[in-house]
Structure 1
Amino acid sequence: MNRIVLLFVSLMIVMATSSRADAEHHNIVLFLIDDLGWMDLGCQGSTYYKTPHIDELAAEGVRFTDAYAACAVCSPTRASILTGKYPARLLLTDWLPSGRWDPNARLIEGRKIRGLPVEEFTLAEALRDVGYQTIHIGKWHLGSEPFCLPEHHGFDINIAGNAHGAPGQYFFPYQGNWSIPTTPHRAKWNVLPDGQAGEYLTDRLTDEAVGLIEQSGEKPFFLYFPHYGVHSPLQAPEKLTKKYERVPKAKRQGKPVYAAMVESIDDSVGRVLNALRASGKDDNTVIIFTSDNGGFYKATSNAPLRANKGSYYEGGIRVPLIIKWPGVSHAGRVIHEAVISNDLYPTCLSAAGVELNPNQHMDGVNLKPLLSATEDLPRESLFWHFPHYNKHPSSHPSSVIRKGDWKLIESFDPATVELYNLGQDLGETTNLAQSEPARRNELLQELDAWRVAVGAERMKPNPDAASKDNREDTTAR
């Protein structure tokens, strides 16, 4: 009898453990919006952009006020999300393909790779290995053939993902025809091979996502949905654009066509949420919504944040982040802890009930404890490193550290140091580097130690530029 009782108890434990493991295998939907600014949502404070579905998601989930992209331009942030590593550690620190460095620049840019290495064990691979169907829909921008596309990095399905950072056209046939930087050549491509006349890319990609959710069955899925919107070219359905053109210019936050693109993204989020509800999967699906960098200066205003995409002031790197985790996140909670793109990898593993792999996602931390409690994360500082030039306003090659409310920017060209207290000066208007020398030196030392630890590429003096300067000085005399 005792053996029968013992067997029964053991069976019950196994069944309970199995049931709990199944319950922990949440579906995961990760929306990554391209160039969406921190202030471009109603739940973030915008009165111009209309985003009712995303606002609803924020009300049902947790909204982070101090979330950051790992880079001020797109490709490195995408690499960070899929690897859990800082771009500097990966040597993938600039958008692809950004071209050769300017031979007339004062500094030689740091080396960079031009595709996500196959050696990286991505988030998609980790989830596929435990039985997830892994789906990529939208912008990839992390390399090309022969081994750098989504299907080479753990995705079972790849729809519309290629080497390019934008569609060329948002309307069918979605043709791209761009000049390749620093070369006389052009790249030509189509984001999708088929479609209907007048079809809008954001809507079409959403059709694909909804269809796959409806067909997903019982197998858990990871839907990585990096929209091409709201990246340039700024194009949207005419009817939607006219809606925002009727708003007086004084009340606009950005261009009407951009506002229409934002609303189309919101519609997409709403349709995906409705598909999850209709299929009965919403109670077992973790939803993450974020952006890859700050808003583009020609499209939107990032005020009260300073600057824009491409810059390492807050307007270039602070982004929206919303997470809804049924049974874990407290509805409507707002979190002010500083978090970053690297954190999404371990957070998704936790949502899948998978053991964390800190040897891979070594620069990210699991955000689950923050969603239901007031626990602090086990780190004090966040870092950025951009040893490159770009043409975005307020951009310069630099490294950055944020520690608590303090943020230090070390610029390499021009060689300057800026220090801001974000708790008192969100707009970064008052440089405290001279009045707070102890704080400045402490942060500079920590920043330099981090660069050494991750093997960050350093910029070097450009001897050709120096020779040119000397020749010009001699001529002037």
Structure 2
Amino acid sequence: PSRAAILSGLHPARGGMTSVAGGFPPRPRSRNAPQVAPFYLARMPMERFTLAEALKDSGYRTGHCGKWHISKNHYDYPQPYQHGFDSSVHDRGVQSRMIPDRLTEFATSNPKDPYQLDQNGFPFDTPQQAALEFIQKNKEQPFFLYYATWLVHAPIVMRSEALLRKYEAKLGVTLTPEHATTWKTPGQTNPFYCAMVEQLDYYVGQVIHSLETTDDPRWPGHKLMENTYVFFTSDNGGMEGNREEIYTDNLPLDRGKISLKEGGTRVPFVITGPDIPRSVQSDVMVNGLDLYPTILTLTNSTTPKDKIFDGCDLSSLLKHDPSNPELVRTQSGSVRDTMFWHFPHSENSSSIRKGDYKLFRQYQPQSPETSKSLYKLYTTDHTISRGDIEETKDLSEVLPTKTAVLDTELSKVIKQMGGREPYFNPTASGLPKSNRAPQVIGHKQTDNSIVVSYRKKGANIRYADLIYTPNEGREWLLASGEVSPDEVVYKLPSGTTHYFINLVDENNFLTIYPPIDDATLKKENLSLIESALSAGHPEPLHGDAIAFAEVFQRRLSTTLPVNQLAAYSFEDHNLDQLHLDGAGIAITNAVSAGGTQSLEMKECDGNDRQWMPLVNIPIPAKEHAPAAGYQISFDAMLDNDLPGALSLNIRGPTSSVKQKQKQKQKQKQKQEQENLATVVIAKDGIRVNTWLLAPSAPGSWNHFDFQWIPTQASDHTVRVTITTEGGDIWQKEVPLEDYFFKQVTDIQIISTGDPGTKAYIDNVVVTSNTERG
């Protein structure tokens, strides 16, 4: 949540990301569990205009290195490039797990060691090296580097044995074989963690040293540091550990990461740069949301039109008087005296700080009530003096009015931001007002319209959510419906494959339709997709019936700047130019898309590999070096009586960026392959890169067309068009599997059906375009 908030400028409650690894339908743990965690997004939406995009529009070269984690997982779509970064080195570096354990395989000075020790005894770190290289490569122009180091983060490992032993001695502890996997001694006693902190300090020092010693090409006689702002902060408080290991202790602060206590939210915030006073400590309340608007002002960049900032511009505070809280003003111009946090997952809490006081609200998993604690962190009387930042003195009973006022204000600001508090489960026993929750009677879907009928049992509906997936459960999203007295109408978002209906009433009870809970899913071995309502296949456009032979001939009639790279009509019996693996591959005259023959792929019992039979169509390398884009087309059909399944991979070499990272980390020398697109044709539908695009009708031919035209402003997608014999058309922009895909080297066709089943391919054409368009 913090990373997305920093880059988007939106509070997690407004941005819809209030935890990590989200994007799943809300549901109780069991039918009788009283509480349900609200929905939150798996990734930052593409429409968020990030700090990187704003700076890029102002002429900055933008770079990211280290951790990302603003998508479903660290390496899922969208990647940094889709959110405004010109370059990215997305690698764990020294934070990769040590195998077999952290007391073996320490880094050495051997040049072949991927973590080779430098002259000071510190291991090579890929993100660190990327940060240093980015500065040197981009010093001749304005640059913005988002260096999201993995330090200090689990796994708690140290590749420099000398540094580890230094802290073993300094802390007065003795490492034994059991410490290869765990550390149970309480307090700040873990030598692995301490060594990691010094390692972070060393790497940050290298970055600062690079800025201090590199001449500024745009300002002769000066160093880069004189014209650079450096912000050092963290996305959360220190992680104190888990059940298996104690990492550290955040004393005097309470708790740590994944908590809204001070140990989880109080982080370092160090700023240096032009006109920033040196060696000044400020007690003014600031947070990571302030970075976006502050950086725009400090760099004289243009503020995006209609952009909402939930943080404040700190430039006046930093340059004029870091002790004056009156200089911290919201987007509307008012002085900020309040901040809030909303974490209705994991710790199940929210909190608000207003002036000197902080309210901590804990949502109770077994009751609709909440527990509240009130702390006075500071005492302000002309100056700010430290109070109870340890949060040891709960004042909620002593100051009940202050507690109630802050509690009401917290609920108000959560609602204003669009946040949701944990829901109550109407099927749980003993919860007051559960009998007033709405009851869904049924639904009717017509094309992309859904009408849900419900019975009002006393409580009004506050939210009518459609929890839907465009890719069969890989990710779930949220849309809203229109509520009337006895029904809710939803417009099904384009490409939806499955969905749930969520009705939240004014008492915060959640009615789920169809009903689901984790215990039942596990007991009956059901997936979310199997329990959801099916949206059917996306609705097609309607065109004229297709003449496959004519389309094939048009594709063959190419003139410059279009080059024909490969064409196969399978009208002869020569398969010598193709690479074949496994039995079941033949040219047949039984069916054809336009001529008299096609390529038959039949599953045979004799094949000893799942990827057999396989046909590999090579694309001549000499032809496509100057290609600015590709068009790939083919016809495919599943057998009418024995329909098989096909997987087609459009492949090319791993991009130089990704290959460089992998070779450094794993010392791989062999060129690897990446996919532009993977097409799966099966009885239950046609998918491209896991996106369900169209239905599949065995016995009928489909024409497939892939166009990929990279431009400077490209969103790095491939345009897929599927056309049936009757003229139904499905089109979709599908994200590339490799953002840097540059060339097509071959097309793999693999039969993946059951034994005896068959499928057919015809009229394969690959062309390139030497001009960007």
**TM-score normalised over the length of structure 1:** 0.71
- C-alpha distance in structure 2 between counterparts of 1:87 and 1:350, whole Å: 23
- C-alpha distance in structure 2 between counterparts of 1:413 and 1:101, whole Å: 16
User: Where do residues 340-419 of structure 1 align in structure 2 (5 Å cutoff)?
Assistant: 340-357=287-304, 359-374=306-321, 375=324, 376=326, 377-378=328-329, 379-388=336-345, 390=346, 396-413=347-364, 415-419=370-374
Deviation at residue 147 of structure 1 after TM alignment: 4.2
Q: Which residue is equivalent to 1:231?
A: 153
- C-alpha distance in structure 2 between counterparts of 1:101 and 1:169, whole Å: 34
- C-alpha distance in structure 1 between counterparts of 2:189 and 2:297, whole Å: 38
* Amino acid in structure 2 at the alignment position of 1:77: S
User: Is 2:387 the counterpart of 1:449?
Assistant: no
Q: Which residue is equivalent to 2:168?
A: 245
Cα distance change on mapping 1:169 and 1:337 into 2, 3 Å: closer
Say which of 81, 85, 88 aligns to 1:155.
85
Deviation string, structure 1 residues 6-55 (Cα, Å, up to 9, x no partner): xxxxxxxxxxxxxxxxxxxxxxxxxxxxxxxxxxxxxxxxxxxxxxxxxx
User: Is 2:317 the counterpart of 1:317?
Assistant: no
Q: Which residue is equivalent to 2:29?
A: 103
* Amino acid in structure 2 at the alignment position of 1:422: L
Q: Which residue is equivalent to 1:84?
A: 9
User: Where do residues 78-477 of structure 1 align in structure 2 (5 Å cutoff)?
Assistant: 78-97=3-22, 103-104=29-30, 105-143=33-71, 147-160=77-90, 170=96, 196-199=113-116, 203-236=125-158, 237-249=160-172, 253-279=188-214, 280-298=223-241, 299-326=247-274, 328-357=275-304, 359-374=306-321, 375=324, 376=326, 377-378=328-329, 379-388=336-345, 390=346, 396-413=347-364, 415-423=370-378, 424-463=387-426, 465-466=428-429
Deviation at residue 462 of structure 1 after TM alignment: 2.6
- C-alpha distance in structure 1 between counterparts of 2:61 and 2:99, whole Å: 29
* Amino acid in structure 2 at the alignment position of 1:399: S
Unaligned runs of 5+ in 2: 101-111, 117-121, 174-185, 215-222, 242-246, 330-335, 379-386, 432-773
* 8 Å contact from structure 1 (residues 288, 322) kept in 2: yes
The alignment yields a C-alpha RMSD, in angstroms, of: 2.7
- C-alpha distance in structure 2 between counterparts of 1:221 and 1:96, whole Å: 31
Structure with greater Cα Rg? 2
- C-alpha distance in structure 2 between counterparts of 1:440 and 1:291, whole Å: 30
Q: Which residue is equivalent to 2:508?
A: none
- C-alpha distance in structure 2 between counterparts of 1:372 and 1:91, whole Å: 33
Deviation at residue 296 of structure 1 after TM alignment: 1.1
Deviation at residue 446 of structure 1 after TM alignment: 1.4
Deviation at residue 202 of structure 1 after TM alignment: 6.7
Deviation at residue 173 of structure 1 after TM alignment: 10
Return the structure number with greater strand share.
Answer: 2
Cα distance change on mapping 1:283 and 1:90 into 2, 3 Å: same
* 8 Å contact from structure 1 (residues 346, 361) kept in 2: no
* Amino acid in structure 2 at the alignment position of 1:283: E
Cα distance change on mapping 1:151 and 1:139 into 2, 3 Å: same
Cα distance change on mapping 1:149 and 1:297 into 2, 3 Å: same
Q: How many residues align?
A: 363
Cα distance change on mapping 1:168 and 1:266 into 2, 3 Å: closer
* Amino acid in structure 2 at the alignment position of 1:346: P
* 8 Å contact from structure 1 (residues 103, 465) kept in 2: no
- C-alpha distance in structure 2 between counterparts of 1:252 and 1:437, whole Å: 35
Q: Percent identity?
A: 36
Deviation string, structure 1 residues 306-337 (Cα, Å, up to 9, x no partner): 111111110011001100022x2110000001
Return the structure number with greater helix share.
Answer: 1
Deviation at residue 169 of structure 1 after TM alignment: 5.2
- C-alpha distance in structure 1 between counterparts of 2:194 and 2:124, whole Å: 14
Deviation string, structure 1 residues 230-283 (Cα, Å, up to 9, x no partner): 110001122111110102359972411011111111111111111111212000
* Amino acid in structure 2 at the alignment position of 1:462: N
* Amino acid in structure 2 at the alignment position of 1:203: D
Cα distance change on mapping 1:409 and 1:275 into 2, 3 Å: same
Give 3-state SS (helix, strand or coil) of 1:450's partner. helix
Unaligned runs of 5+ in 1: 1-75, 175-194, 391-395, 469-477
* 8 Å contact from structure 2 (residues 290, 311) kept in 1: yes
Deviation at residue 204 of structure 1 after TM alignment: 2.6
- C-alpha distance in structure 2 between counterparts of 1:218 and 1:248, whole Å: 45
* Amino acid in structure 1 at the alignment position of 2:411: D
- C-alpha distance in structure 1 between counterparts of 2:94 and 2:197, whole Å: 18
Q: Which moved more, 1:123-132 or 1:136-145?
A: 136-145
- C-alpha distance in structure 2 between counterparts of 1:351 and 1:417, whole Å: 40
* 8 Å contact from structure 1 (residues 202, 268) kept in 2: no
* 8 Å contact from structure 2 (residues 294, 315) kept in 1: yes
- C-alpha distance in structure 1 between counterparts of 2:340 and 2:236, whole Å: 15
- C-alpha distance in structure 2 between counterparts of 1:88 and 1:358, whole Å: 22
Cα distance change on mapping 1:95 and 1:224 into 2, 3 Å: same
- C-alpha distance in structure 2 between counterparts of 1:369 and 1:311, whole Å: 31
* Amino acid in structure 2 at the alignment position of 1:119: E
